[in-house]
Structure 1
Amino acid sequence: MNTRVTMADVAAAAGVSTMSVSYTYNRPSRVSDATKDRVHAAAAHLGYTGPNRAARSLRSGKHNSIGVVLGEKLTYAFEDPQARRFLSGIADACLDADTALMMLPNLHRDNDNARIRDAQVDGYVVWTTERDDPLLDVLVDTGRPTCIQGGPDHPGLEWIAIDDRAAADAVATVALEHRKHPAIVALRPDSRRTSSVTHGADPSSISMPVTRARLDGYRDACVRLGIDWSTVPTLFTTHNGRSEGDRAARKLLQDNAIDTLLVMSDELALGTLDAAAASGIDIPSTLAVTGWDDSDAAAAAGLTTVAQSLFDQGRSAARWVLGLSEHVDAAAWKVQERRSTGPENGPQTK
């Protein structure tokens, strides 16, 4: 019968105290190199692989891990450039706290809420979700610190986001300075991921807070500039991908007389540029296009866009969850004007 080797066994074999063995594994700066060498040699001889992390977590109530909740398939975290930036910011904060990162997809399946609730983590950072997502109350009930990027603002949870409504108003104002016939390529309105075209879309009916706020901002600009909102078509996409932007632009350009595309992400906007090029539509003399996020690809394509740092937002959210900061930082944004909205627009910001 095999007996599990304990820390005390290693201490006896190495001729040191049990505390020295504990420090060797958990606080190595507290022991000398010679002691560490003796402990590691004894551990190797006895087949000791280190302290039981699960047992230690049960005793301390700490797991040294943070959960990242994504309302997307896990592959999205690696494929979407902005998701990668956001996760990089979280990972950077984890380095400061010597903390692991656990990916937790939330696809609204029957077992998702329980799996996320029972994850061995000390807190959560959530990629934006719907206002009525039942997971939000589940996260509150865990008592663990939780911060949501992009909202919604939910009682008992922290959140971080730019002022999406003001940013949408600002970028639409730039694009519509000399134009009067916009169309909108919007992020999905809810978890059902339905794709549809709506004229005069009602932002209050949108469950996703980011989509709702940006649509509000586009409407604000149209109304202020004398554009009849009821005539403005909005195509709600099924996913945030370049191919989806291409499909959306072809649909809108085929069915509507438009001179401006206000697009809620750079990936979608790059797809609209693909569609315009394939159709022989000149940018910007015939069609102006705006994006959102200011990715490297957007800069290379000359795309006017809303610049924000999802890296900084991810880092700030994670630092708050980890207790490294008492508050989340205010999220900054600016309009980055480029040639997609007019030849007179150079590389400037507003």
Structure 2
Amino acid sequence: MSTRPTMADVAAAAGVSTMSVSYTFNQPRRVSDATKQRVRAAAARLGYTGPHRAAQSLRSGRTNNLGVVLTEKLTYSFENAQARAFLSGIAEACLDTDTGLVLLPNSRKGVDLDRVRDAHVDGFVLWTTAVDDPVLEIAVGTGKPICIQGGPRYPGTQLVGIDDLEAAQAIGAVGLRGAHRPAVISFPRDRDRVGEIVLGPDPAAATFPVTSARLAGYRRAVVDAGFDWADIPVAFVPTNARTEGARAATALQRDYEVDTVLASSDDLALGVLDIGGGVAVTGWDDSDVAEAAGLTTVAQSLYDQGHDAARWVLGSLREIPPAEWSLKVRTSTRLS
């Protein structure tokens, strides 16, 4: 009965140490090209395909996999430019540490929660979610390291992201120059994702922390500009999509004759520009299309945030640095 060749067999056949074989398969940067060629040639002759990953995991307690839990459906990670940037940063960190990437959907019920609980991963990176998301308790209950982009702050987790309130107040001040009838197009208020227009909603009532913080910043900017927040129409959209921005802007212009819109994302802001009407508009994220569209927006690097989040979870970064943001003022807003 034939047996599976071992790392020691390959080392003997290649005339190198067992450690050199291990490095060739697990940390190839630590051995010379010549040694790698000898080891791989010997492995091919013997039919050795590499270390047995399941056995390695049992011995080390590590899986060499990182779980990424999305608030949105899985397709969002491929459709949305900023989600793609965030995942690219995570993927780069995984590449640097020879780690696999496991994408996990999060419908907040049933099998999706079981997937997170039972995931064969060493830790989790979570896309921003609501404060009452049951996946938070389940992920923390695994005892594995967890980093959340954009919040919420939750015991036993780390956070990566910018100061959304401060940035919203700053972009709001720019967007409101020369405004007479301003409005806001916002991310969903809570997990129900109801699309509706509400006058002067309480930011603290939003259970998505990013929504809450940006509304609070917009409210400060509105008050500073001499408006009453209670009079400001805020259109909550069910999803962050350009079509939703256009739909919300159409309703705001029709029912409130708005001349300025503070939008929670570039996609939503581009939807406003799509329907025209001469409305001043601000976005958020400085996506690739923002500059070409002349969009005034908040710039942040979700790639860097994903990279830092993954490195922290995987143990190659001791402390996550503060995420940076800046304003990009362009032609979509008034000069004064």
- TM more than 0.5: yes
Paired with 2:168 and 2:268, the residues of 1 have a C-alpha distance of 15
Change in CA separation of 1:49 and 1:253 when aligned onto 2, cut-off 3 Å? same
CA contact (8 A) 2:108 2:134 kept: no
> Equivalents in 2 of 1:263, 1:124: separation in Å?
30
Cα distance, 1:70 vs structure 2: 0.9
Shift of the alpha carbon at 1:339?
Answer: 1.1
In 1, Cα distance between equivalents of 2:51 and 2:293: 53
Q: Of 306, 311, 320, which residue of structure 1 is paired with 2:298? A: 306
In structure 2, how many angstroms separate the alpha carbons of the residues matched to 1:178 and 1:32? 64
Task: Give RMSD over aligned pairs.
Answer: 2.3
State the match for 1:348 in structure 2: none
> Structure 1 residue 94: deviation in Å?
2.2
Q: Residue 89 of structure 1 corresponds to which residue in structure 2? A: 89
One-letter identity of the residue aligned with 2:238: T
Q: Alpha-carbon deviation of 1:198?
A: 0.8
Instruction: Give the CA deviation at 1:184.
Output: 0.9
Residue pair 2:89, 2:302 contacting (<8 A) in 1 also: yes
Q: Which amino acid aligns with 2:169?
A: D
Q: 1:121 to 1:166 in 2, by over 3 A?
A: same
Q: Which amino acid aligns with 2:123?
A: G
The AA in structure 2 aligned to 1:137 is E
- Residue of structure 1 equivalent to 2:175: 175
Tell me which residue corresponds to 2:242: 242
| Change over 3 Å in CA distance of 1:35–1:298 after alignment to 2 | closer
Higher mean C-alpha displacement, 301-310 vs 11-20: 11-20
The alpha-carbon distance between structure 1 residues 43 and 231, as it changes in their structure 2 partners (threshold 3 A), is same
Alignment of 1:129-278 (within 5 A): 129-276=129-276
In structure 1, C-alpha distance between the alignment counterparts of 2:29 and 2:169, rounded to whole Å: 54
> In structure 2, how many angstroms separate the alpha carbons of the residues matched to 1:142 and 1:151?
19
Quote how far apart the aligned CAs of 1:316 are: 1.5
1:15 deviates by 7.1
Alpha-carbon displacement from aligned partner over 1:224-257 (angstroms, at most 9, x marks no partner): 3221212211111111111111111111111112
Partner of 1:115: 115
Partner of 2:318: 326
Query: What secondary structure does 1:143 align onto?
Result: coil
Q: Equivalents in 2 of 1:330, 1:311: separation in Å?
A: 14
Identity %: 59
Q: CA-to-partner distance for each residue in 1:70-93, whole Å, 9 max, x for gaps? A: 111121111111111111222222
- For the structure 1 residues 320 and 78, does the alpha-carbon distance in structure 2 shift closer, same or farther, using more than 3 Å as the test? same
1:99 Cα deviation (Å)? 2.1
Q: Tell me, which stretches of 5 or more residues in structure 1 are unaligned?
A: 346-350
**Could you tell me how far apart the structure 2 residues matched to 1:28 and 1:264 are?**
44
The unaligned stretches of length 5 or more in structure 2 are none
SS at match of 2:48: coil
Q: Label 1:149 to 1:272 Cα distance change in 2 as closer, same or farther (>3 A).
A: same
The superposition leaves residues 39-83 of structure 1 with CA deviations (integer Å, 9 ceiling, x where unpaired) of 544533443322211110111011222111111112111111111
User: Structure 1 length normalisation: TM-score?
Assistant: 0.88
